[in-house]
Amino acid sequence: MTLEDAPVRRSVQIERFSIFNFQFSIANCLLGFGIVALLGLARALAGTEEKLAPGRVPPALEVAGWVNTDPMTLAGLKGKVVVLDFWGIFCAPCRKLMPHLSQLYEKHRGEGLVVLGVSEDERPDIEKFAKEIEAGYPLAADRLVEGNGVTLKAYSIVAIPTVYLIGRNGKIAWIGDGPKLTDKMVLDELGKK
């Protein structure tokens, strides 16, 4: 090694060390942000899980407009079994679930079944969509604040379709992915007096 080579090698080593430190710092920041985000999510879910669990009274609906019905409230539906479906026009699984919910509603509404669909879509779009797919049950346009649905937020909806099955006692009986709601679950709730 000559004297001329020494500063270059030292410069390369310092540069590599600096890049390594920079990458390490970024990785630590991302990890830190990830942990903070996960803790925040865990706290949020823990708070809502207690509030929105089977056996609890669900939050009130805050909708901007109704389609296929006059305005409704969950308190006014106490004594009936309610399938509360959170959906969206753009959502393929929602579109697939809706004809089944319509059939279920038509078949069992005389026994006290009410199916309600709540969407963040605008009311005129919901009206048009309801005619296209012949949705025979009540649909609601959620009240939006800064582009987000107030009811969807109150129910901690992070994915659609999400369904809440509410018993005759006005309390949540089941919460889950829409396609996982079975006719048996609904019929069992209808059978409870």
The model's pLDDT over 146-191, given as tens digits with 9 standing for 90+, comes to 999 999 999 999 999 999 999 999 999 999 999 999 999 999 999 9
Predicted pLDDT of residue 135: 87
Q: Are 47 and 112 in the same domain?
A: no
Q: Are 43 and 116 in the same domain?
A: no
- Measured distance CA(186)–CA(112) in Å, rounded: 11
Q: What is the mean pLDDT of residues 123-146?
A: 94
- Domain end call among 31, 51, 71: 51
Strand, helix or coil for residue 81: strand
Within a domain: 57: no
Long-range Cβ contacts of 21-28 (<8 Å, 24+ apart): none
Q: Are 42 and 97 in the same domain?
A: no
Q: Are 75 and 170 in contact (CB under 8 A)?
A: yes
Within a domain: 159: yes
Predicted pLDDT of residue 128: 95
Predicted pLDDT of residue 2: 54
* Percentage of the chain exceeding pLDDT 90: 69
Q: Are 85 and 178 in contact (CB under 8 A)?
A: yes
Within a domain: 154: yes
Within a domain: 170: yes
Residues 6+ away with beta carbon under 8 Å from 87: 94, 97, 98, 117, 118, 119, 160, 161, 178
pLDDT digits (tens, 9 = 90+) for 60-88: 999 999 999 999 999 999 999 999 999 99
Within a domain: 56: no
* Per-chain mean pLDDT for the chain: 83
Q: Please report, for the domain that includes residue 173, its CATH number.
A: 3.40.30.10
Q: Are 11 and 77 in the same domain?
A: no
What ranges make up the beta strands (E) of the chain?
63-67, 81-87, 113-119, 139-142, 144-145, 148-149, 162-166, 172-177
Long-range Cβ contacts of 18-24 (<8 Å, 24+ apart): none
Q: Are 32 and 69 in the same domain?
A: no
pTM for the whole structure: 0.74
pLDDT digits (tens, 9 = 90+) for 10-56: 555 555 555 555 554 544 444 444 443 444 444 445 444 457 999 99
**Range of the structural domain that residue 140 is part of:** 63-191
Residue 133 — very low, low, confident or very high, per pLDDT cuts 50/70/90? confident
Q: Are 77 and 43 in the same domain?
A: no
Name the residue among 55, 62, 133, 52 with its Cα closest to residue 91: 133
